[in-house]
Amino acid sequence: MQSGKGLRMISFDSVSKHYPNGTTAVDDLTLELPEGDLTVLVGSSGCGKTTTLRMINRMVDPSAGTVRVAGRDVRESDAAELRRNIGYVIQQSGLFPHRTVLDNVATVPLLLGWGRRKARSRAAELLERVGLDAGSGSRYPHQLSGGQQQRVGVARALAADPPVLLMDEPFGAVDPVVRTQLQDELLRLQRDLRKTVVFVTHDIDEAVRLGDRIAVFRTGGRLVQCAPPAQLLTRPADDFVAGFLGAERGLKLLSLTTLGEADVPHEPVTPVRTDEPVSGIRAAGGSSNSAAGEGDWRVAVAPDGTPVGWLDAGHLPAGGTAADAELLPLRPLRDEDSLLAALDESVTSPARAVARVDGDGVLRGITARAALHERAAAHHAATATAGTDGGGRSRADAAADRSGQNGTDGTDGTDGGDVRTTEAAS
């Protein structure tokens, strides 16, 4: 099922959770989550986001109100049966240490009565899908890195092909590089599988990167705002939401838009091949690729046309080839890269420009920093006026566009879904 069709997979109707000691974890929550969307619950510690997630699979029962999955009150289902049909991923994976990776992933299918051969075949298929090699199935959890363990946790949650996937800060215990890789993997899986995902985090950057919609909670279990990322960033409901989003809301907004979406132009340039003799570079002269006229910077490319660095043609070695010269780092950008990534690259570029490449990584031209600033400002103004999130596309589709994996028309037929917003009383 594709996202944004308005079909409600999960709904909360006036749900509260109170504890005997007087603590209110969730207060009068009304929220509808469309089928196939990834909804992020975000807020500071003690705001009720994890309690909200756990009421979906009855790890916590509400004190008042109704939680429904696929239209059915969860209290009408046996708790164990309900949980076997809802994937659940937690921080630090929660794998069984005495079982192999393959048997960990096969756990739920075996509980559901699948034959051992079928369950293990499904487990092997999912290990490959989450980016692990076939040999990892025979290992034990302690033999894997933290990132690999989290991938196994995701595979186990998906093993019985549940329609709903709950993820409680699943990437919070890994380092930033692995965390980004796992986020990319989740977006790829979501594009392929279209699960209804509820994802808990305290990291607003992670929420913006992953979420089709973001639900912001305040302490006391009150939902303040639920909206697509761009709408949340441009139109926060109140000062609390604005403060939680932080002072760099504009930069976060730029991370949602690609160079292609913003129609950022590039200018053709004549690069320098790394196998070109220094004497030939001097003799040819030519125009600088520098956008500011400071230094004679050129884009150095490998023989196949892929950029490898910035070369200062005014400071070449006495002999040899361009490869013998000092090359400053260069990150080539595709149309699928974000405006924020391009601006960041332009700040560190000695040429005050960024190199643009096609889908094969071959140089197409450069874009000056000033042109990026101009287009970013125009796009920011247009988005702020519209208050939309790219026409209702899911974050998985946006990620697929950035990796060139969606269809040529760039659409998925979404219409924005059906999420009601509840604002906390002041």
Q: What percent of the chain has pLDDT over 70?
A: 85
Comparing 33-47, 69-83, 164-178, the range with the smallest average pLDDT is 164-178
Return the pLDDT at 418: 36
Q: What pTM, to 2 d.p., does this model score?
A: 0.77
Confidence of residue 105 (pLDDT cuts 50, 70, 90): very high
223 against 9, higher pLDDT: 223
Specify the pLDDT at position 410: 36
More confident residue, 409 or 40: 40
Q: What is the pLDDT, as a whole number, of residue 413? A: 35
| pLDDT score of 394 | 61
Q: What is the pLDDT of residue 411?
A: 34
- Cα gap 237→258, rounded to integer Å: 26
For the stretch 47-73, pLDDT in tens is 999 999 999 999 999 999 999 999 999
Contacts of 227 (CB under 8 A, 6+ apart): 213, 214, 235, 419, 421
Residue 250: predicted pLDDT: 84
- Under the banding of pLDDT at 50, 70 and 90, the label for residue 395 is low
Question: What 3 state SS string does the chain have?
Answer: CCCCCCCEEEEEEEEEEECCCCCEEEEEEEEEEECCCEEEEECCCCCCHHHHHHHHCCCCCCCEEEEEECCEEHHHCCHHHHHHCEEEEECCCCCCCCCCHHHHHCHHHHHCCCCHHHHHHHHHHHHHHCCCCHHHHHCCHHHCCHHHHHHHHHHHHHCCCCCEEEEECCCCCCCHHHHHHHHHHHHHHHHHHCCEEEEEECCHHHHHHHCCEEEEEECCCEEEEEECHHHHHHCCCCHHHHHHHCCCHHHHHHCCCECCCCCCCCECCCCEECCCEHHHHHHHCCCCCCCCCCCCEEEEECCCCCEEEEEECCCCCCCCEHHHCCEECCCCECCCCEHHHHHHHHHHCCCCEEEEECCCCCEEEEEEHHHHHHHHHHHHHHHHHHCCCHHHCCHHHHHHHHCCCCCCCCCCCCCCCCCCCCCCCC
- Which pLDDT belongs to residue 182? 86
pLDDT in tens, 165-201: 999 998 887 788 888 888 888 898 898 889 999 999 9
Query: Which tens digit of pLDDT belongs to each residue from 309-343?
Result: 999 988 899 899 999 999 999 999 999 999 999 99
User: What percentage of the chain has pLDDT greater than the value 90?
Assistant: 58
Region 216-243 average pLDDT:
94
Structural domain boundaries of the chain?
Answer: 8-254, 272-371
For 206-225, what is each residue's pLDDT tens digit? 999 999 999 999 999 999 99
Judged by average pLDDT, the poorest of 11-15, 215-219, 271-275, 407-411 is 407-411
> Is 272-371 CATH 3.10.580.10?
yes
Write down the pLDDT at residue 289.
60
Q: In which band, very low, low, confident or very high, does the pLDDT at 345 lie, cut at 50, 70 and 90?
A: very high
Only one residue has tokens 């519209």, namely: 386
Place 1 in a pLDDT band, splitting at 50, 70 and 90.
Answer: very low
CATH number listed for the domain at residues 8-254: 3.40.50.300
Q: What is the mean pLDDT of the chain?
A: 85
- The reply to whether 8-254 and 272-371 are identical in fold is no
pLDDT band at 409 (very low <50, low <70, confident <90, very high): very low
> What is the rounded average pLDDT of the residues 274-290?
78
pLDDT of residue 91 exceeding 90, the answer is: no
